[in-house]
Structures are given as structure tokens and as C-alpha cells.
Amino acid sequence: MDNLAIYYGWENRQAKKDREASILIRALHLMASYLPCRIHVQHLPRVSSVAAKLADSLSREETTSREEGARSRAVSTRLISPSLRSWLADPREDWELANQLLSDMVARLENP
């Protein structure tokens, strides 16, 4: 998987023909401006690093090894935002998600 679409989406603050990606990009821009911090998105060629190879493998059930699947299921999800967890269970176009993610982050910062 190549991240060129996200690279350009980040620069343009939207991903053409991918509203879900645009919503997530908007959420990251909101959170970065709240913190304040800068997010740097860099284009990387397809499967050019260990992390990229793993992401590519995990993106398709038929290419995910048993070990990779077991390791990904063992990752703690307690730090995942409740709004993100809910959205991942049922991904859909929801422009309010960006605000919900920002609210989750603010709540976590105020009550660590």
C-alpha cells in the first residue's frame, strides 16, 4: 500500500473521492491545532519499511499471517478513543467524528 493519496490528502486537507479519509484528516488537523503541534506526512514507496510491510500485510485477510493476526489482536486498546473505537466497529461517513475525536482527546488531557 502506497501512502501517496494520504500525502496529498494531508496537503489538501481532504482526500478526493474518499470521505472517510477526509474526515480522519480533518480530525488530525483539529487535534494538531489544539495541542499545538505539527504533523509531518512523508510519502514512502510501497512496502519500503518493516512497518509498511506489516501494514500492507494486515490490510488483507489473505496476506495476514497467523502470527501477525495474533499480535495485532493482542495490542491493548484501552488507549483508543471511545469515539474511534465505535467508528472502527461501524465505519461510515460521519463528519461529526472529527469533533468527537477532539473532545475525547481534550477529556483525556484534562483527566489523565
| Among 55, 60, 44, residue whose Cα is nearest residue 3 | 44
Residue 69 included in any domain: no
What pLDDT does residue 86 have? 93
Quick check: is 105 in a domain? yes
Query: What is the chain's Cα-based Rg?
Result: 15
Count of domains for the chain: 1
Determine the angle formed by the axes of helices 97-110 and 82-89, rounding to 10 degrees.
150
Residue 62 in any domain: the answer is: no
| Residue 72, CB-side half-sphere exposure with 13 Å CA sphere | 13
The answer to whether the pTM exceeds 0.85 is no
Encode pLDDT of 38-81 as tens digits. Answer: 999 888 777 787 877 877 787 788 888 888 888 877 777 777 89
Domain that holds residue 12: 4-43+76-110
HEC string of 34-94? HCCCCCCCCCCCCCCCHHHHHHHHHCCHHHCCHHHHHHHHHCCCCCCCHHHHHHHHCCCCC
Q: Please check the confidence at residue 1 and state whether its pLDDT lies above 50.
A: no
pLDDT at 96 over 90: yes
